[in-house]
Amino acid sequence: MTTSQIEELRSQIISTVRDFVKREVVPQAAEHDEHDTYPAELVDQMAEMGLFGITVPEEYGGLGLDHTTYAMVFEELAKGWLSITGPIGTHSILTYAIGKYGSEEQKRRWLPDLAAGKKRGGLALTEPGGGSDVAAMKTTAVRDGKEYLVNGNKLFITNGEHGDVFFLLAKTDLDTDPQHRGITGFIAEKGPGFTAGKHLNKLGYRGVDTTELVLQDYRVPADELIGGAEGQGFYQVMDALETGRINVAARAVGVANAAFEAAIRYAQQRETFGKPIAQRQSIQNMLADMATKIHAARLMTYDAARRKDQGERIDLEAGMAKLYASEICGEVTMDAMRIHGGYGFTKDLPLERYYRDAPLMIIGEGTNEIQRLVIARNLLKRYEV
């Protein structure tokens, strides 16, 4: 695709997504959030729009678009309702891993159905005793002829209930030093021994399923090992999580922007002592800071996306974007609630939902405490003396 063709298609996609969010998502968001119900019809519509295959190459049935478009899509969706990004967010980590590290046979077997949303995927990485400490995972995969026998539990898994196929990480070697060299990645489809467990009741990010996954004597064919060799899983998932951090940063920008736009509209309508509060310097200062933070976060996100498309490893840039965007999202949603005063604290307006959703981006896809460690480690390498 030429640059002009990409730009034209990007414009069409974003326009379509924006219209979908306004027409379909926003009117349903509060109801799904309140009752924690899965938005099946909306997810099916996203599949019809091709959003499950945004970055999947066209030859495998996807849209074949770049990560900048990918980020823009997530921003628009999150602006309407954060949770609607969940089904395609974790799914895209799986398709990235298969697309980059899978064999040609694996790509042709899995990517077309995943790109079309006929099969829906996720990342089976986090465990009850190990989130940030990936190397401490307890799930094991033991070779047994042409299969691996997998046992363990995963936790906080988006698409855990409604997903079909997962990028599953498990230990195939318990004696390696360092431990992460014993981690292997598999393409694992639900079946006997592989089921969804407890559905988690969350503060925010409601409506999308976040569950436990239970693997009990689950057998995965050896030809579903990603990359064709054991011990490559840690490196594969760290690379794939860069795309996850791009989409989490973009989600944070979307939620923050929704809160800002609500606040600046309200500030021009709400009057105190005879004039709109938007004319009060303290409110103007808040609005100026909010808009500046959002703009900076968006630019950082797009920069990481552009670098990813150029084939760079972006631990540093994706980490910075995710860290900054998620932190300012928490700040902006709080400021928007302050501008709204008591009304912002009620469920009559979406401000309280934005505020409840914001912490997900601070915690998810690698906590911000871990992001700071990743950023510092990369900076020390870059400026080594």
Of 179, 199, 231, the residue that ends a domain is 231
Statement to judge: residues 97 and 127 lie in one domain:
no
- pLDDT tens by residue, 190-211: 999 999 999 999 999 999 999 9
Whether residues 97 and 146 fall in one domain? no
- 357 and 250 in one domain? yes
Looking at the fold, whether 377 and 254 belong to one and the same domain comes out as yes
Query: Is pLDDT of 131 > 80?
Result: no
Number of domains making up the chain: 3
Range of the domain at 79: 3-120
Domain match, 245 and 377 both: yes
Residue 6 has pLDDT above 80, yes or no: no
CATH number at residue 24: 1.10.540.10
Q: Residue 241: what pLDDT?
A: 95
- H-type alpha helices, 310-350: 315-340
pLDDT number for residue 231: 96
Beta partners for residue 147, in sequence order: 144, 221
Do 201 and 239 lie in one domain? The reply is no
Q: Give how far Cα 321 sits from Cα of 141, 199, 243, 248, 251, Å.
A: 34, 30, 11, 9, 11
User: In this model, does residue 353 exceed pLDDT 90?
Assistant: yes
162 in the same domain as 46: no
The residue type of 248 is V
The predicted pLDDT at position 132 comes to 81
Tell me which of 59, 365, 369, 384 is the catalytic residue: 365
The percentage of residues in the chain with a pLDDT greater than 90, rounded to a whole number, is 93
Predicted local confidence at residue 130, as pLDDT: 78
Q: What is the average per-residue pLDDT within 344-349?
A: 96
Asked whether residue 226 carries a pLDDT value surpassing 90, the answer given is: yes
Average the pLDDT over 258-275 and give the result.
97
Q: Count of CB atoms within 10 A of residue 133's CB?
A: 12
Q: Are residues 377 and 261 in the same domain?
A: yes
**pLDDT tens digit sequence for 79-100:** 999 999 999 999 999 999 999 9
365 is catalytic: yes
Q: Note the pTM of the prediction, 2 decimals.
A: 0.96
Tell me how far the alpha carbon of residue 318 is from its chain's centroid: 12
β-pairing verdict for 147-158 and 210-221:
antiparallel
Question: Which of 172, 203, 231 is the last residue in one of the domains?
Answer: 231
Residue 240 and residue 356 in one domain: yes
